Structure 1
Amino acid sequence: MSVKTMPCLRTAICLAMLSVLSGCGGSSSSNSAPSPSPSPSPAPSPTDARLSFAVSDAPVDEASAVVVSFSSITLVPEDENAESVELAITDDNGDPSYDTINLLDYQGSEQKLLLQNMSVTPGVYKNLIINTYACPQNQNGDSTFCYVEDTSGIKPLKTPSNKLQLGGITVSEGAQETYVLEFNLRSSLVSTANGQSFNLKPQGISIVSTSSSGKVIGTVDPNILNNSLGCETVFAPNTDHGKSVYLYSLPAEGEVANVTLTDEFDANEASAGTPENALAPMASIQISLSESGDVYEFDFGDVAAGNYLIAFSCSAINDDPVEYDAIQIPNPENQQQTLSVTAGSTTVVEFVE
């Protein structure tokens, strides 16, 4: 196993990170929406920040499309006397609109720009809310604007009250920042109504500033899958084949000896049996076969600078995003390592036999 940090890659697995941000509020992919016009914004101050927001995702098992319509982003100030800021997606005439996006089109290092160069007053914002447009609120709702497509057809996709509340950000004077809203769909997408619909939850969606983040990509040696106990299940593309990489934030002291690495679960809903010393992943992703067919790959996209632990498991089939499933991580037992992510760099992880 090894970890390398480099400014760029010359291998095929780096191609995904070379895609440029595309689209923005008011682009041709937006559509008119019957929502009221926002209040006029004051003229920007020289100290105002300029913010852009993009979306990206880690793919989910067995879904061929995860489509969401977005209408705006709301920033809620920590100062309760200050008004919330709504950053609306608009059409070519400047009228409120929405953008319908298949998240699976923007995996790993690929991103879709939602809002660009928006003027925002500096300060502390206690909540960033993604406002979705016309997502159904039950399994019988209209799936025109938000849906999941899997092997059995199109299913309604609900977001809670058409709002995804992600937590706070701090905006500095004069900052020019792009925030990537990273959808870890293995955590945030939950099947409901006996598989007849899905919920999209804030859990697993993170806010990452591109100025203070790096990329995490890597490979898994095929010999690990072919020769190790616990890896007998067949690798089958576009299915839940159970070959996954888990990324964890290290405890503050940087030690992992006293924690148990767990699979995806919702701490607010998981049933009894979750270890007391559980360290849940911040993201997870299934590996995929490279175009050359000689190695398996993964790409976590933008990850905030810091120290992490990364582990591979070949027995992660049926990882329920709500329940603790007691999946063996790592498996094989030696397939874990620590890594440091540096802003502006790409960290390459290699899992070898």
Structure 2
Amino acid sequence: MLSKHQSCKAFVISVAALSLAACGGSDDEPNVADTATFTLAISDAPVDEADAVIACFSAIELVGNGDGQQTFVIGESDNTLASNDVCKDSDGETIPNTYGVDLMSYTGSDALDLVAGVEVAAGTYGQLRLVMSEGSYVQVGEQQIPLQVPSNELKFDSITLDAGGNAAYTVEFDLRQALVNPVGQDVYFLKPRGVRLVNNLEVGHVEGSIAEALLIENSCSVAPSDTTEPVAAVYLYEGSDLEITALADVGGAETHQPYAVAAVYFDNVSAYTFSVGYVAAGDYSAAWTCQTDDDPEADDDITFQGIVDVSVSGDETVTTVDISG
């Protein structure tokens, strides 16, 4: 089942609930006081140099809580998304029980459910794992460059699911930080840096714009004929009233490391907009620059033209940021 839905105009891929029964649990009807509904989502902030980032998902694992490891396999366990034929092995054969998706196709609050509407035992789980398969790749022009994930797993720390509760989490892929193409290697790596797990009740979304006059004043590109090319970038940092000189780029060594990075695009009319989805509630500083190239493996010399404070509320509320001076 492939579904898209709009919610607060941010950006997501939704991966929904997991079931103990889906992996051969008890046939008895669970006691609602001992169970919780769990929803896991994946969302994306796109990267500039790629035309597509195809990620191949094969399973979700919940580890701990006294029940051992619970594994929910794509296309096999109940309530999971049917597998597709996107993910191929080295012989060009479709890898079974996988779903391949272009992360860059799901921005804003569009959602793709991998598993949905299932109950699991309530309690604290020591680890959540998103299992990847072979076949992931990055599309650059006509070339498909392999995408590798360490151990083919993304591992996240402990989560607690309250009895009778309805928990929803999102795995946020900030590809500008997580996607690495080492010099001299014909491969991309998806690194844990820039990939974070957030509780949807405790996050909001940031949408903003930069005034064209401000871009012109700072010698940024404006009104590009190719609207897929960014004209600027916005870096979000935890904390307010931060000094620009203390802000690091991706891979930089300054005091404050970026929480997320978003490109600024021309809408082919008059606006220059950016968005950052699934931001943990709190106070932030948003710094912007005309420089759109930032090597995640290097300490680049990024000049920020300005900075504004941003306060993000929870419950997926949208915070609007207008950078005009």
Same-fold status (TM-score > 0.5) = yes
How many percent of aligned residue pairs carry the same amino acid? Answer: 28
Structure 2 residue aligned with 1:110: 110
Q: Which amino acid aligns with 1:289?
A: F
After superposition, the Cα gap between the structure-2 partners of 1:94 and 1:228, relative to the gap in structure 1 and judged at 3 Å, is closer
Greater Cα offset, 114-123 or 97-106 = 114-123
Query: Please, which runs of 5 or more residues in structure 1 have no aligned partner?
Result: 1-13, 27-37, 136-144
How far, CA to CA, are the matches of 1:15 and 1:217 in structure 2? 13
Structure 2 residue aligned with 1:210: 200
Q: How large is the Cα RMSD of the aligned pairs?
A: 3.1
Structure 2 residue aligned with 1:287: 264
Structure 2 residue aligned with 1:63: 50
After superposition, the Cα gap between the structure-2 partners of 1:338 and 1:301, relative to the gap in structure 1 and judged at 3 Å, is closer
* Correspondent of 2:74 among 86, 89, 108: 89
* Correspondent of 1:262 among 235, 242, 248: 248
Matched, 1:309 2:293: no
Distance apart, 1:290 and its partner CA:
1.7
Structure 1 residue aligned with 2:9: 17
Structure 1 residue aligned with 2:41: 54
Structure 2 residue aligned with 1:326: 301
Matched, 1:187 2:177: yes
Is the CA contact (8 Å cut-off) linking 1:52 and 1:113 kept in structure 2? no
After superposition, the Cα gap between the structure-2 partners of 1:75 and 1:25, relative to the gap in structure 1 and judged at 3 Å, is closer
Residue aligned with 2:206, SS: strand
How far, CA to CA, are the matches of 1:124 and 1:93 in structure 2? 23
Superposition pairs of residues 165-180 of structure 1, within 5 angstroms: 165-180=155-170
Q: Which amino acid aligns with 2:115?
A: L
Is the CA contact (8 Å cut-off) linking 1:52 and 1:114 kept in structure 2? no
Structure 1 residue aligned with 2:189: 199
How far, CA to CA, are the matches of 2:79 and 2:281 in structure 1? 36
Query: Please, which runs of 5 or more residues in structure 2 have no aligned partner?
Result: 1-5, 81-95
Residue aligned with 2:71, SS: strand
After superposition, the Cα gap between the structure-2 partners of 1:288 and 1:123, relative to the gap in structure 1 and judged at 3 Å, is same
Is the CA contact (8 Å cut-off) linking 1:189 and 1:200 kept in structure 2? yes
Is the CA contact (8 Å cut-off) linking 1:308 and 1:338 kept in structure 2? yes
Is the CA contact (8 Å cut-off) linking 1:25 and 1:99 kept in structure 2? no
Distance apart, 1:222 and its partner CA:
1.1
How far, CA to CA, are the matches of 2:208 and 2:47 in structure 1? 18
Is the CA contact (8 Å cut-off) linking 1:126 and 1:169 kept in structure 2? yes
Matched, 1:158 2:134: no
Matched, 1:352 2:290: no
Residues 131-174 of structure 1: CA deviation (Å, up to 9, x unaligned): 012x2xxxxxxxxx211001351111111121111333221111
Structure 2 residue aligned with 1:341: 313
Q: Which amino acid aligns with 1:160?
A: P
